[in-house]
Amino acid sequence: MTISRRDVIKCGVAAAAGAAITVCNPALAGADPAPAGSRWFKIGACEWMLGRGNPTSFEVAKEIGLDGVQIDLGNAKNDMHLLKPEVQKAYLEAAKKTGLEVSSIAVAEMNNIPLKSDPRAEPWLFQSPDVAKALGVKVILLAFFHNDDLRGDKAGTDHVVDLLKQAAPRAEKLGAVYGIESWLSAQEHMDIIDRVGSPAVQVYYDMGNSHRAGYDIYKEIRWLGKKNICEFHAKDYEFLFGQGKVDFKEARRAMDDIGFSGWIQIEGNMPLGIVRSNRQNLEYLRTVFPAKV
C-alpha cells in the first residue's frame, strides 16, 4: 500500500511527540475518502439485548425501530441451535416477516467455553462461516471475555492464532469475516491479525469495552482503519447513549476519517426496560449515524 510523503512526515512528527498510536498505520494512510452519498450506517441490536434467544427477537426489534438483529449462534444448552438448517430458516422467515435484516452473527458462548483452551469451541469456529453464508451475512463476532480472556495469556493467544490460520481460508472463500472482540488494545489486536495474515480476520470494535479498558477509542478507530474493523458495538455501560462517557459524535468523526460504512449494534444499558431503553438509544444514534452519508 502506497504511503505519501505527507503521511511519512505526519508519522515522524507523531513519533517525535511520543504518541502511542499514530497516523503511521498504513490502513489509515492509504484510505481514500468515499464519494458523498456512498457511505451508510445501519443500526441493529444484539439478540441478547432484546430479551430473546429465538426468532421472536425480530418482533421486538421491529417494535423498537431497528434495522436488524445480530443473532447468536446459541449455547451449549440448546446445542448451538443456529447450526441447524431449520433454525436458520426460522430466523430468515422472521426477518422477512418483519422487514428487518439479519445483520451479523455472534459466537458468544466462547465466553463460557473458551476457544483458547476448550476443544468443544473449535467446531463453532470452523462451522460459523457456513452459517453466515446461509443467512446472507458477512460478519462473525468471536467473543473473548470471561473464560476466553486473552489478556496476559500468550499460550491461549498463540492457540487462537493457530486456529484462525486454519479457519481463515474457508471464511475467505465464503466471503465471511471473523471479528475479534476482546479487552485487547488496537495494537494487540493488530498483532493477532498480522500473525494470521488473512483479510478474513478483523476487529469487532466495542466502543464501551475499549473505553472501560482505558484506551483512546477515537485514536484506535483511526489507527486500525477501515481495513481492520468489520463492525461496531455501541455501548456506554451504565449510561443511556449521549448521557455518559463515550463520545459517539467523536467516534463518528473517527469513522468519517477512515471512511467506514456498516452496521452498528446496540449493546447498551437498559434502565428503562428493553423496549424504551433500546428505542431511546436508537433515537440518539440516528442523530449521529444517519442511513446515508
- The pLDDT tens digits for 135-173 are 999 999 999 999 999 999 999 999 999 999 999 999 999
Poorest-pLDDT segment among 28-37, 99-108, 142-151: 28-37
Of residues 285, 226, 265, 292, the one with CA closest to residue 57: 265
Report pLDDT for 35.
Answer: 65
Percent of the chain with pLDDT over 70: 88
The mean-pLDDT minimum among 7-16, 66-75, 181-190 falls in 7-16
Q: What pLDDT, on a 0 to 100 scale, did the predictor assign at position 25?
A: 53
Whether residue 67 is predicted with pLDDT greater than 60 in this model: the reply is yes
Q: Are 131 and 174 in contact (CB under 8 A)?
A: no
Domain 36-288 has CATH 1.10.3720.10: no
The pLDDT of residue 34 is 63
Pick from 272, 293, 273: nearest CA to 264: 293
Which grid coordinates belong to 108? 458468544
pLDDT of residue 97: 98
Q: Is 61 within 8 Å of 283 (Cβ atoms)?
A: no
What average pLDDT score do residues 111-123 get?
Answer: 98
User: Tens digit of pLDDT for each residue in 203-240?
Assistant: 999 999 999 999 999 999 999 999 999 999 999 999 99
Q: Find the mean pLDDT for residues 90-112.
A: 98
Sign of CA dihedral 174, 69, 192, 18: positive
For residue 264, how many C-alpha atoms fall within 13 Å in the half-sphere facing its CB? 24
Q: Give residue 36's pLDDT band: very low, low, confident or very high (50, 70, 90).
A: low
Q: Is the pLDDT of residue 24 over 70?
A: no
- The domain ranges of the chain are 1-30, 36-288
The pLDDT value given to residue 38? 85
Write out the three cell numbers for 187: 495494537
**Per-residue pLDDT at 22 exceeds 90:** no
Selection from 258, 248, 262 nearest residue 34 by Cα = 258
